[in-house]
Structure 1
Amino acid sequence: MKMLLLTLMLLGITIPTFAVDQSELDERVRKLTNKFEAMQDKPDKKVPAEDLRKAQGVILLERTKAGFIFAFEGGGGLAMVRDPKSQKWSPPAFLNANEASLGFQVGGQQSFIVILLMTTNATRLLTQGDIELGGEARGTAGNSSAGAEGKTGSQPSIKVYDDRQGLYGGAALKGGALSGNDDANNTYYKEYAPLEEILFKRKFKPSEAAGKLIEKIEQNAK
């Protein structure tokens, strides 16, 4: 499976895949939507509207005390990509998070993480090869404005925001891996559904739950 190696604040551990159905995956989308809404309701933690407007891709992840929630609950996260021409969002593709190499000091219990892919090239990392972005992720407890940035050239290509529930001391991540959750995606779209076709070829239409997530992202970009 092709991997995306990101510079971001996460602790990855491998969790076995369990069978889920479409309704459980819709519930996963709704839960992540609610987490995003809750984060945006906090002025000191919200993702800035300007960043959401400029973002070409978005990844939502939830971290628990034990690590990230993956296929165990229908995909630990999801990604969506904006069409360069129409600027419309793709349907969501479910993701797994895999082991990361990092040095960390963590006092937190749980966090919700929003990763913005700021360039078209950054969005293609979701499907192209094993790519590592250099740098370190650092942040201040409960302050999304201290989002980590991965850079391509002189411009930030990735921005990371987290809404920590509990004290977080700081992190320096050397490499974290994300990959498509094939089982969840195939189940959700009721056929073979690789990331390329979900995110870039617009073969599938957003579900009602996904449509509401897109609506919330667009509302918060104004």
Structure 2
Amino acid sequence: MKFIPKILLAALLAAPFPAMAVSSMEERIDKTIDILEQYGKAQGDSIPREVFQEAKGLVVMWIIKAGFIVAGEGGDGLVVKREGKKWSYPSAISAAGAGVGFQAGGSSQDYVLLLNTEEAVKQFTQKGNYTSSAEVEGTAGPVGRELSAGVATVNAPVYTYSFTKGLFGGVSLSGLGYGSADDTNENFYGQRMDPKDILGGKVKKTPEAVKRLWKVLEELDKKPRITGKTPSQDVKGSKKTSN
């Protein structure tokens, strides 16, 4: 991943992006649910159920690419982590980048990131602004039946997918820095909390929007797999498992 100086990253994350419509946690959850429901209906080439159901965490975000005065991008999203057979409360995140070759005019793109290791989950649940380390740089994830031949293997800490017009495709994502959207979290949960505490369940009251998100995630976890296999882990620092 391209290096982004901390001062520049902080400025980019604080900068307004006029085209960005999604900001509140309710809107983030609604958009995430819409993307996940379309994933649940997807046929053919899409994120393999095996990979989704074994992921330790999930990031859904949407990026606005702009090139008005300074080429750059910014976006909103949320992160959740898997807790056994359940999912955590969502924590809001922001993303920003600069100098990665975007053309003027602006456009948007939705992304789904599957976090395959505990280290990757920690990377996306830090407080403040941060850049992704080399160990958790996004890698284009497998699609469709790419896991059906031989032994299914997860070999990257983070699998990245783009979502366009109902279709999911593996894509390499670089040049981004991330930050916790603390104000968004506070407005939603009614108290100032670290992302790790939100994902750790230290929330006093469960909003209805979160219950709707959990329902969609749990339904996806029940979907039948293509191969019927549990992908083995071939990622540094991860334990290998297989059926």
TM-score by length of 2: 0.62
Deviation at 1:91, TM superposition (A): 0.6
Tell me which residue corresponds to 2:86: 88
Deviations 1:119-175 (A, max 9, x none): 112111124565422667569xxx95599xxxxxx9311111111249xxx976543
Tell me which residue corresponds to 2:225: none
Tell me which residue corresponds to 2:208: 208
CA distance in 2, matches of 1:59, 1:116: 7
Kindly report which structure 2 residues correspond to 1:11-90, keeping only aligned pairs within 5 A, or say none: 14=13, 15-16=15-16, 24-64=24-64, 66=66, 70=75, 76-83=76-83, 86-90=84-88
Q: Does 1:120 align with 2:118?
A: yes
Greater share of strand: 1
CA distance in 1, matches of 2:174, 2:17: 25
Q: Does 1:98 align with 2:96?
A: yes
For residue 110 of structure 2, give the secondary structure of its aligned residue in structure 1.
Answer: strand
Assess if the C-alpha contact under 8 Å between 1:132 and 1:175 holds in 2: no
Higher gyration radius (CA) = 2
Tell me which residue corresponds to 1:9: none
Query: How large is the Cα RMSD of the aligned pairs?
Result: 3.9
Kindly report which structure 2 residues correspond to 1:129-208, keeping only aligned pairs within 5 A, or say none: 130-133=131-134, 155-165=155-165, 173-199=173-199, 201-204=200-203, 206-208=206-208
Change (3 A) 1:65 1:102: closer
Identity of aligned residues (%): 28
Deviations 1:164-197 (A, max 9, x none): 249xxx9765431111001101111111111111
Change (3 A) 1:32 1:196: same
The code of the aligned residue for 2:29 comes to V
Change (3 A) 1:109 1:178: same
For residue 102 of structure 1, give the secondary structure of its aligned residue in structure 2.
Answer: coil
Structure with bigger RCO (C-alpha 8 Å, 6+ apart)? 1
CA distance in 1, matches of 2:158, 2:48: 14
CA distance in 2, matches of 1:171, 1:186: 32
Query: Deviating runs (4+, > 3 A) in structure 1?
Result: 64-70, 100-106, 127-131, 134-139, 143-147, 170-175
TM-score by length of 1: 0.67
Deviation at 1:206, TM superposition (A): 4.0
CA distance in 2, matches of 1:53, 1:162: 18
Assess if the C-alpha contact under 8 Å between 2:96 and 2:177 holds in 1: yes
Assess if the C-alpha contact under 8 Å between 1:111 and 1:165 holds in 2: no
Change (3 A) 1:37 1:69: farther
Assess if the C-alpha contact under 8 Å between 2:123 and 2:132 holds in 1: yes
Change (3 A) 1:206 1:69: farther
The code of the aligned residue for 1:115 comes to L
Assess if the C-alpha contact under 8 Å between 1:180 and 1:195 holds in 2: yes
